[in-house]
Amino acid sequence: MGRRWMATVAISLAGLLALSACGDGEGGNDSRRQVAVFSWWTGAGEADGLKAMRQIFERDNPRLKFFDAAVAGGSGDQARALLSSKLNANQPPDTFQGHAGAELQGYIKAGKLESLNFLYDELKLKDVFPKQLIDQISVQGQVYSVPVNIHRSNVLWFNPSVLKAAGITGPPATIPGFVAALEKVRAAGKIPLSLGPQWTAVHLLECVLLGSLGTPAYNRLWTSGSDWSGPEVTKALTDFKTILSYAGDPVDDWQPAARQVADGEAAFMIMGDWAYGYFHNPPDGGLGKVSRTDFDWAPSPGTDGTFMWLSDSFTLPRGAPSRDGAVAWLKVAASREGQDAFNPLKGSIPARTDADKSLYKDYLKWNLSQWATSKLAGSIQHGVVANDNWRTAINDAVGLFQQDLDVADFQQALVEAAKNSGQ
């Protein structure tokens, strides 16, 4: 089953992974047993973090060989589509990345995941993970994933030089202030807002909803009987339309969008804090830019005091070809050493509360303090508040809206998406 999974991955990606499959212990005298780790961490920063955890895994498990079954594409939309087809065919990888929260509910209900309570008990993980995080990844008392990090979604990244040239004294703190700043940048001849593929527009939407509605009203959208049809939502969607009108031509992924900001072609980007690693890391894994000079950050407009969170995690699929190998990987992902090796490179903060805080500097130091003191809201695009069916319906609605910009039709589509979510 493991060979069949890897062959299908290589074919599905038009040969992208074929070289890895051939050269990663498939032949020769390497007798180590492969462990297929499925993720969407292929970009600069995130791939570096994955490599750091891989080194720990292979050091501690000399009889096992890490197989990188990653699928390119920010936010994991392409990866999840392939993963779903393989799970439905009962051909799982040994372990796969998923966002903690509602995203995994479909797999859990379908019986595709093993409970990890045994691992949490063995490693005493409930003593080192925040209770609110444990609650979010538990279903009826069972835990189904190991979170390796905490990310912040609602971050406004900006180029200080572009803002200064446009006469903007600092990052806008409100939605109206943001619109005014975008207009000034347009008048100065720069791209006001960089944007990637469709999922980045959904990411923008969640931050605009939070900034326009406020935290309590945003959080109510994801509760039973929520009202997506009210005038406050209409106002938020109108704000989204206005902001979207200042976006440049969409680029292939979030990294090229970030590069537009770093290179001074664009002023702003609203993106999760994985962008920090890409901005900051040396040129062999990032852009090698200087924080507070080449790039800077602030909470996305209207969201100061609220941390819109998400968490990358790993799972144990039922029928994993190398179950013990998967458990060995989960132990690395859960460990203090693994998280401290991964997160500074990824641009995220650790899920563990006992991590070495001295390793988290600059943006990450700021983010650790924000996580400890802010109100919380969950990400849409990144799996916290909406299950896959609901998230897909929202993505579809955003895609149509980008074509026709009809707020009334967009809002009705979101009303229907909530009604049919099954959550």
Domains, in order of start, for the chain: 2-149+313-375 (3.40.190.10), 152-308+378-419 (3.40.190.10)
pLDDT of residue 132: 73
Q: What span, in angstroms and rounded, lies between the C-alpha atoms of 364 and 49?
A: 15
- Reduced to 3 states (helix: H, G, I; strand: E, B; else coil), residue 306 is strand
pLDDT class of 29 with cuts at 50, 70, 90: low
Residue 26 has pLDDT above 60, yes or no: no
Q: What is the mean pLDDT of residues 199-228?
A: 96
pLDDT of residue 46: 85
Residues 70, 23 contacting (CB under 8 angstroms):
no
Q: What is the mean pLDDT of residues 39-53?
A: 89
Q: What is the mean pLDDT of residues 376-400?
A: 94
pLDDT of residue 242: 98
pLDDT of residue 65: 97
Lowest-pLDDT range, 107-116, 257-266, 271-280? Answer: 271-280
Cβ neighbours for 230, distance < 8 A, ≥ 6 positions apart: none
Nearest to 285 by CA among 44, 54, 47: 44
Residue 106 has pLDDT above 50, yes or no: yes
Cβ neighbours for 322, distance < 8 A, ≥ 6 positions apart: 2, 33, 34, 35, 36, 64, 94
pLDDT of residue 131: 83
Q: What is the mean pLDDT of residues 15-23?
A: 35
pLDDT of residue 74: 63
Can you give the pTM of this predicted structure? 0.84
Percent of the chain with pLDDT over 90: 76
Q: Read off the tokens for 309.
A: 């969170």
Contacts 24+ apart (CB under 8 A), 217-225: 218/377, 219/377, 219/378, 221/385, 221/418, 222/378, 222/385, 222/386, 222/423
Percent of the chain with pLDDT over 70: 92
Beta strand 266-270 with 191-193 is parallel
Beta strand 95-99 with 33-38 is parallel
Write down the H helix ranges in 75-227. Answer: 77-88, 105-109, 117-123, 131-136, 160-165, 175-187, 198-213, 215-220
The residues pairing with 310 across neighbouring beta strands, listed in sequence order, are 151
pLDDT of residue 123: 98
DSSP state of 318: T
Residue 323 has pLDDT above 70, yes or no: yes
Residues 42, 70 contacting (CB under 8 angstroms):
yes
Q: Read off the tokens for 349.
A: 């903060």
Is the pLDDT higher at 346 or at 339?
A: 339
The neighbour count for residue 324, using CB atoms within 10 Å, is: 14
Nearest to 39 by CA among 89, 114, 98: 98
pLDDT of residue 246: 98
Residues 338, 406 contacting (CB under 8 angstroms):
no
